[in-house]
Each structure stands twice: as structure tokens, then as C-alpha cells.
Amino acid sequence: MGTVSRVLNGSPAVSAASKEKVAGAIRQLNYRPLASARDLRRDRTMRILALAKNLDSPIVSEAFRGVGDAAALSGYVSLIAPTAGEPEREQQLVDMLRNGSVDGLIMFSPTMADDEIEAVATQMSVVQLCEVADSEAAFGVSIDDRQASYDITQHLIKSGGRKLAMIGNRAARSGRLREEGFRWALAEAGLSPEHLLFADGDFNFHSGRSLTRELLGSDRLPDAVFCGSDTVAAGCVREITDAGLRVPGDIAVAGFDDSIQAEMCVPGLTTIRQPAYDMGRVAFDALFERMTEPGAHRRGRTYLPHELVVRDSTKG
């Protein structure tokens, strides 16, 4: 029934009387147009999907809040799915883009190899968020992780750090860039890293503690530690404190993300603020452009500005 459809979609070519009658019937029957039929006909869903390994990181939830708000402004629904770091599940979710279950995809922490991401991104609407493949063929939004790590490492050095350690995460793209920034700042200051420790699996409070335990057990004690996340830094601070040493008196500690944990930690953590919410919005806007302008395949990256937040954990 054409008229019903017209009423549903707010077409102006309907008389007030018909509109009234149809609207009444719709209410009466509690009728909802079937999404699959409409999607099939229109060849779009007005839905997008955002993928991440886990949801328990403050950066993820904040970034996805930005995605969701921007999506809502453009009339899209944004759905979220965790991959649990399992390639099969990630594949299944990426297939939702391929088979038209959603119109666009935002990838936060992919397990896929860079060239697979590239392959999907060149054909369909994909935007990478925070964790961006090295290749410039696909498009991504992030901070300049290398520069940010350089900045905070330089701050540690300026605050008197001479024997620097880093607890990082080579499994993540951003983690590798952060290591580069760390090395860069050290090289520039004529220093060499005292320790470089990397989480094997999880990159969380517990691994922060156990890696710091290693650090403290070594014969070359650092005077400053740069951790790749606030959560890990919180574990690091806790382990140092429990060992009877003081932060920052004996060892200064810096984190990354400026999540609530940077504030909760005692002492408060010096860290890098990522504008996660805005990154999410920008990511959606880029995706929107890609979805709506047929030829638009943006490449490369957009960097959003980060900010060094100095708290007591490095006030030597």
C-alpha cells in the first residue's frame, strides 16, 4: 500500500485525511515496518557497527560515546560488538558490513593484519579509530602516539629522570608507536633505555604489577617509568609503593590516556589526555562522508591533539 509507505516516510504527497487515517491504524495495530524488507528495498540500513577487543577500557567507551552521539545526529544507529580478540568473531562481524547488515564499520582494536584491513577498507566504508594500521591506504583517526610518548618521556627527563624504563604493549599498533616515541626522546637526550618490558597477553593492572615486580627485582633500578596506559601505571605505582619505595620520590611514574584511573591513583598520575570523545565523533563524520558520497575513499590519517597532564606522580 503506497499511501501507508508515504505516511511512514513523511512524504508530503498525502492528504491530511489519509495521513490521519493511516496514522490511526498504525497506532491501533501497533504496526512497525519490517526492517529487513525496508533495508532490502533501500539497500541501506542506517546502522553502523563499531568493533573493539574489549569494552572495559575507558578510552573505548568514551570514543564509542562520541561515535554514537555523532551517528544519532545523522540519523544512524551505532551498534557495538566486542571481538574478544578472536579472529573468527572479528571476521563474522566484519562480514556484517560485507553482507549489508550495517552500512559502515569503525574498527578500534583489530586483530586482522594490516593488508586485510586495507582490502576491506578500499572497497567498503571503514574507518579506523585510535589503533590505525601503518598502511596509509585505509583511513584512521587517532592522536599522534609517537609524538605524545615523546612529549611525556621528555617530561620525565626534564623532571630529573636519567634511568628510564618503559612498560609497553607491542601487540598493539599504538603500543609500537609509543615505544618509538619513548626511544626518540631518550636518544635526543643522549640516554639509553634502562628497561623495556612488554605485556605478553593482557595489558592491565595485574600485568602492571607483575612487570614492575620484575623491574624492582633487577639490579638496575630505574628512576622513572613510562607506562603505556593509566591502568598499567596504577599497577606500577601500587607495586612500587608496596615495596616501600616512594612515587615520585624514588621512582617517577607516567601513564597514558588520562582515564579516571589517573585521578583515582595515589599519587595522581601524570599522563597523556586523548580526546577520545571527539575522536569518536570525527571518526563517524569521516565514515558518514564515505557512506554517503559514492566516490569518497579517504586515505591516510587525521590526528587529533593530545595534551600532557601533569600530576603528582612525576613531581620530583
Partner DNA sequence: CTGTTAGCGCTTTCAA
Partner DNA sequence: TTGAAAGCGCTAACAG
Q: Does 123 bind DNA (CB under 7 A)?
A: no
Smallest CA-to-CA distance from 199 within 223, 230, 227 is with: 227
Alpha carbon distances (Å) from 59 to 109, 154, 187: 11, 24, 30
Nearest-approach distance from CB 11 to DNA, in angstroms:
8
Q: Which helix (H) or strand (E) holds 141?
A: strand 139-143
Nearest to 69 by CA among 302, 306, 282: 282
- Interface mask (CB under 7 A) for DNA, residues 40-79, using x and -? xxxx------------------------------------
Task: Kindly tell me which of 77 and 260 has the beta carbon lying closer to DNA.
Answer: 77
Q: Which among 289, 294, 286, 295 has a CA at the least distance from the CA of 128?
A: 286
Number of residues binding to DNA, judged by CB under 7 A? 23
Among 26, 38, 170, 204, which residue sits at the site for DNA (rule: CB under 7 A)? 38
Residue 194 to residues 163, 164, 225, 231, 283, Cα–Cα distance (Å)? 6, 5, 10, 22, 37
CA distance 150 to 153: 5
Whether residue 140 contacts residue 129, with contact meaning beta carbons closer than 8 Å, is answered with yes
Q: Which is nearer to DNA, 43 or 219 (CB)?
A: 43
> Which amino acid does the sequence have at 132?
V
Pick the stretch among 30-38, 107-115, 220-228, 271-279 that binds a second copy (CB under 8 A): 30-38
Q: At its nearest, how many Å lie between DNA and the CB of residue 36? A: 8
The stretch among 157-165, 214-222, 262-270, 296-304 that binds a second copy (CB under 8 A) is: 262-270
Which of 10, 29, 99, 294 binds a second copy (CB under 8 A)? It is 99
The number of residues that bind a second copy (CB under 8 A) is: 50
Please say which residue, 5 or 91, places its beta carbon nearer to DNA: 5
Residues near DNA, by CB under 7 A: 1-6, 8-9, 12-15, 17-18, 32-34, 37-38, 40-43
